[in-house]
Amino acid sequence: MKQFKLSKISHRLTMIYALLFFVAIALVNAATLISINYYINQTSEEQLGLVNQAIINEVKTLENIPNIDIKNISKMINNVDINLIYHDRVIYNSGEKYDLPLNPDNKTVVSKSGETKIMYLNDTFTLQDGEKVGVQIIKDMDNEQNYLHALSGIMLMIDAVSLILSIIVGYIVSRNALSPIDKITNQAKKIGASNLGTRIEINGPDDELKRLSDTFNEFISRIQIAYDKQNRFTLDASHELATPLAVIKGYIDILDRWGKDDKAVLAEGIESVKVELSNMTSLLDTLLFLSKCDNEIYHLEKARFSLNDLVDEIVKETGFVDEKHSIFVTGDNDREVKIEGDRRLIKQMIRAIVDNSIKYSSDNGIIDIDYRITGRNAAISVSDNGIGIPEADLPHIFDRFYRADKARSRSIGGAGLGLSIVKWIVDVHQGTIHAESKPGDGTKIVIELPVGSDNHLS
């Protein structure tokens, strides 16, 4: 037999509910006994009063006492004796004699005579000749007491049996009700990194335990998605780092073989290594930024700022490094548009989109930046007349390491992380982003960001 341990929920519930049930039964039984005892006493008092009234109605003079069948009056109720007292002397007794004090206040008294519980009534009435006679009516309460004692014993046995049955039934019910928890625990122990697709299966009604298993399954699903993303991210990052490392290793081998004596080969090798190291540094910085984003380490520094000034700043800085493309600003650029957010991140977001447009547009291409207030949002769009994006690739362009034209993208540069960072910046500002594009017709990225509280066009 298994040891009964209160450390288990089912056992604690069993004991708690069994104790509560026992207390409830005990209280009901106690209330029943008290009520029955009260009823017996009240009934006995009424009976004593009826006998007393019958005696008063029958006894008119001392002379007619012997002629009255007082004993028959006493038989109106069971176990009753009558004493008639005249000048402190008992002149009539219907049965057993009791040495009881005479109290002429017509009060019912509960007392004991030896081991016997009795109830007696003292009263005084006036005869026709003006003489006063005392009457004592005594009722033996042994039968009633025996009944109460027997009833108490029966109820005590009922209490004990109820306690035992409640423990047994409570244990069976609680064990069956909580058995799904053991099933959840055992199935959860089997779930690991190698089988995150496993789910907990609980059959039965839609109760709290069923909802618990469903919630746990949803939690595992989210972990699986995050785990798959992390694995994919690790594999993609390893793949992206493998290419520059291979290039660097190749040039080091060339320098080792021929670059020691050939200055042209040496210069070319060193320059190529510097370029690849720069690309790796940029990639690692981007990966570190994404890691901070994923782990919610990055803290936003929100403030109200002018979107007009920010866009002008981006256009000016882009012109310093790229003179082959024309950038135009349209929309509400003639009125000040203020929004609330992390200015540095929003600048990084717009610049990343502009850089992407430059990469995938031919020389002398046109890039248009449009921004305006639409209700409670600031709508920002960046359009170009570049090579465009195939329709099948549009849903994935914001995924990490995704590139629509992988061969062309690698030759242009970049690891496919720019737009995923843009998407994170939009999400963290509780905005929306989508792309519109057709191959050969260019691309348009549209962003909507909440302008924040107390926003207006000034």
Which domains are present in the chain?
9-161 (3.30.450), 208-294 (1.10.287.130), 302-450 (3.30.565.10)
Q: What is the pLDDT of residues 21-44, one digit of tens each?
A: 888 888 998 999 999 999 988 888
Beta bridge partners of 203: none
283: amino acid identity, one letter: L
Helix/strand/coil for 229:
helix
pLDDT tens for the chain, 458 residues: list them.
455 555 567 677 778 888 888 888 889 989 999 999 999 888 888 888 888 888 888 888 887 777 777 767 767 777 888 888 888 788 888 777 777 776 656 667 777 666 778 888 888 888 888 888 888 888 888 888 888 889 999 988 988 888 888 888 877 877 776 677 777 777 777 777 666 767 777 666 666 777 777 777 788 787 777 777 777 667 766 766 776 778 788 878 877 777 667 777 778 778 878 877 877 776 777 677 766 666 666 677 888 998 888 888 888 888 887 888 888 888 765 678 888 998 988 998 898 899 888 888 888 888 999 998 888 888 999 999 888 888 888 888 887 776 655 444 444 555 567 788 888 889 888 899 998 888 888 899 999 998 875 544 33
C-alpha angle 440/446/447, rounded to 5°?
155
Q: What is the pLDDT of residues 69-125, one digit of tens each?
A: 776 776 777 788 888 888 878 888 877 777 777 665 666 777 766 677 888 888 888
**N-terminal to C-terminal alpha carbon distance within the chain:** 81
**CA-based nearest residue to 45, from 116, 142, 141, 135:** 141
Question: Distance between CA 359 and CA 127 in Å, rounded?
Answer: 132
Q: What's residue 448's pLDDT?
A: 92
Residue 211 CA: distances (Å) to CA of 1, 188, 202: 33, 15, 9
If residue 137 lies in a helix (H) or strand (E), which one and from where to where? strand 132-140
Task: Specify the pTM.
Answer: 0.50
Q: What is the mean pLDDT of the chain?
A: 79
Q: Any long-range contacts for 172-176 (C-beta under 8 Å, 24+ apart)?
A: 174/9, 174/10, 174/11, 174/13, 174/14, 174/17, 175/10
